[in-house]
Structure 1
Amino acid sequence: MDRRNLLSIGQFSQASGLSVTALRHYDASGVLLPAFVDPVSGYRYFRRDQVRTAQSIRALRQLDIPVEEVGRLLGGGEAELAAALRARLLAAERRLQVQRSVVHGLLDRLTEGAGMTHRVTVRQGAAERILVRGATVDNSGLDAFLRAAYQEMYQAAGRGPLTFAGPAFVRFHGVCDDENATLVEACLPFRPDGAQPADLPEGMTVRDLPANTLACLEVEGEAAAFPRILGGYDAVADWITGHGFAFAGPVRLVHRRWTGTPDHPDNRLEIAWPFDEPADGPADESADGSADGSR
């Protein structure tokens, strides 16, 4: 083979910015194969036009993309690679947004201290009859689920026609964030003494909720958007535990004013957490978190 247009592994390492050890690893994993391997010495040689591929591999690995994924992306064409990079950029920006919110939340707790509990109020929640549509989702799928669920529920209510008895709300049976999925229920309260729904679509049910006592906190605008709203849940949880009460069911997110856009400045939501006097003994854990009130 004519080696004049080939680079030795050492020269290729300098041109690509990949170490000799890394090049051997990528050869063994099938991500970047040398153009020629000397059968006697075992020395590896690369074509000059492989330098740009090697530089792309180096950049992708700097993004913490696994070696196997790097090989698949490079073999899928430029369009697939560009789409994957844009998706990764959005995910990185999302993580940064969450981290900023967490840091600001912690700083707020340090500066406000016990004053955070002053925003929590108590109200008595009446017994309610509700339309319910549930699904197990994480935060990335939450908005799409709620939009579809409420659209279907309002259509079912209109066929009744049902008389609404209050604002729509969501019940979280566990932690719902970017790393955890949980059962989420879209709820639409209606009057039990009027028309009742019939022929509900599969997955939609009617449920009666008992009267309860709720620890409540209203959040507006940016404070009502994820992830900043997590600080509101923490404030209500701190209030309940700090006053010696027990969680009595899944936390609710009540849509007092909702524009349809999660981060709209005119949004006004209410975090409402049922609580009760603590039982004599420790509460049993439930599969959906309703005993400990986890969100």
Structure 2
Amino acid sequence: MFTIGDFARLGRVSVRMLRHYDSIGLLRPASVDPHSGYRFYRADQLRRLNRVIALKELGLTLEQVRAIVDDAVDVAELRGMLRLRRSQLAEQLAADTARLAAVEARLRMIESEGRMTTQDVVLKEIAPARVAELSAVAASYQGEDIGPVIQPLYPELFRRLSAAGVNPTGPAIAWYEPADAGGDAVVVHAGVLVDAEPAAAPDVTVRDLPALRSAATIIHHGAMDDVEPSMQALARWIEDNGYRTDGFAREVYLDYCADTPEKGVTELQLAVYRD
């Protein structure tokens, strides 16, 4: 038999862990010296230890681990536990992947700060436009909340327009407005220019997007995930020239590249005014 120290090294765990497993009845020593209190383990106990470690690394609780290694759960229950854990890990991976993408986008934003100047901003009037649109609500105006909401809207919008025999006459346009006073939620509008009457597509809203008497505009090149430097240039221009804005930009997709978003060209339009 092996001392607790030797057994810990063989199992590549700590002595402290083995003592804890003993205290909760998860892995008892094969024998304990009645005089010294020293714990001794057999080689065949490594099999149980390895199963315990493997199940623990899956994220199962020690109570769940004990039930499994003691054969207190049947195959169906074990399968259900492992499927649930697989689902949890998949959700965690998706969340971590989304956070990683957001961090990378912020890094790109920081690295590109200062490349766009306020000289790229043009102040102009935006004419009214007839658009067909679908809308949905996003949790906030942050890119990670907007993207998953707006992206499915456009394929569905074009599908419905095609079914109604209505053809777009210009680029797609997105715009935003608060969903409720004082909250973070945002109504996301996905639209496209059309020359059609309001009743032309029954399951699509056809409306006139109002004119903007004065708008600060800038051409953004690249994916919308990397739009922050362009928004920063707009913000600096607005502040430098004594204007105010509500911060919600219209996005006119002059060249939309679904498969290669980094090649996209978008005009950002911010309505501005002076007090």
- TM-score, normalised by the number of residues in structure 1: 0.61
SS of the residue 1:246 aligns to: coil
**What runs of 5+ residues in structure 2 fail to find an aligned partner?**
69-77, 179-183
Question: Would you say 1:36 and 2:66 are equivalent positions?
Answer: no
SS of the residue 1:167 aligns to: strand
Q: Provide the residue aligned with 1:272 in structure 2.
A: 269
Offset of residue 241 of structure 1: 2.7
Task: Choose from 91, 105, 108 the match for 2:109.
Answer: 105
Q: Provide the residue aligned with 2:11 in structure 1.
A: 15
- Between the aligned partners of 2:229 and 2:60, the Cα distance in structure 1 is 34
Question: Greater CA deviation, 87-96 or 153-162?
Answer: 87-96
- Between the aligned partners of 1:45 and 1:182, the Cα distance in structure 2 is 62
Q: Provide the residue aligned with 2:209 in structure 1.
A: 209
- Between the aligned partners of 1:22 and 1:92, the Cα distance in structure 2 is 32
Task: Choose from 192, 196, 199 the match for 2:198.
Answer: 196
Offset of residue 22 of structure 1: 9.8
Aligned-residue RMSD, C-alpha: 4.6
CA contact (8 A) 1:214 1:274 kept: yes
Alignment of 1:111-150 (within 5 A): 112=114, 116-137=117-138, 139=143, 145-150=149-154
Offset of residue 211 of structure 1: 0.9
- Between the aligned partners of 1:57 and 1:234, the Cα distance in structure 2 is 49
- Between the aligned partners of 1:208 and 1:9, the Cα distance in structure 2 is 78
Question: Would you say 1:169 and 2:165 are equivalent positions?
Answer: no
CA contact (8 A) 2:137 2:149 kept: no
Matching residue's letter, 1:252: R
Offset of residue 34 of structure 1: 0.9
- Between the aligned partners of 1:144 and 1:104, the Cα distance in structure 2 is 21
Question: Would you say 1:245 and 2:237 are equivalent positions?
Answer: no
Deviations for 1:238-260, whole angstroms, at most 9, x for unmatched residues?
Answer: 32233221215731221111122
Q: Provide the residue aligned with 1:291 in structure 2.
A: none
Question: Greater CA deviation, 47-56 or 231-240?
Answer: 47-56
Task: Choose from 140, 154, 163 the match for 2:158.
Answer: 154
- TM-score, normalised by the number of residues in structure 2: 0.64
Matching residue's letter, 1:135: A
Percent identity of paired positions between Structure 1 and Structure 2: 16
Task: Choose from 188, 191, 194 the match for 1:187.
Answer: 191
CA contact (8 A) 2:138 2:187 kept: yes
SS of the residue 2:253 aligns to: strand
Aligned residues: 246
- Between the aligned partners of 2:266 and 2:207, the Cα distance in structure 1 is 23
SS of the residue 2:199 aligns to: coil
Offset of residue 188 of structure 1: 1.9
CA contact (8 A) 1:170 1:184 kept: yes
Larger radius of gyration: 2
**What runs of 5+ residues in structure 1 fail to find an aligned partner?**
175-179, 279-295
Q: Cα distance 1:149–1:93, how it changes in 2: closer, same or farther (>3 A)?
A: closer
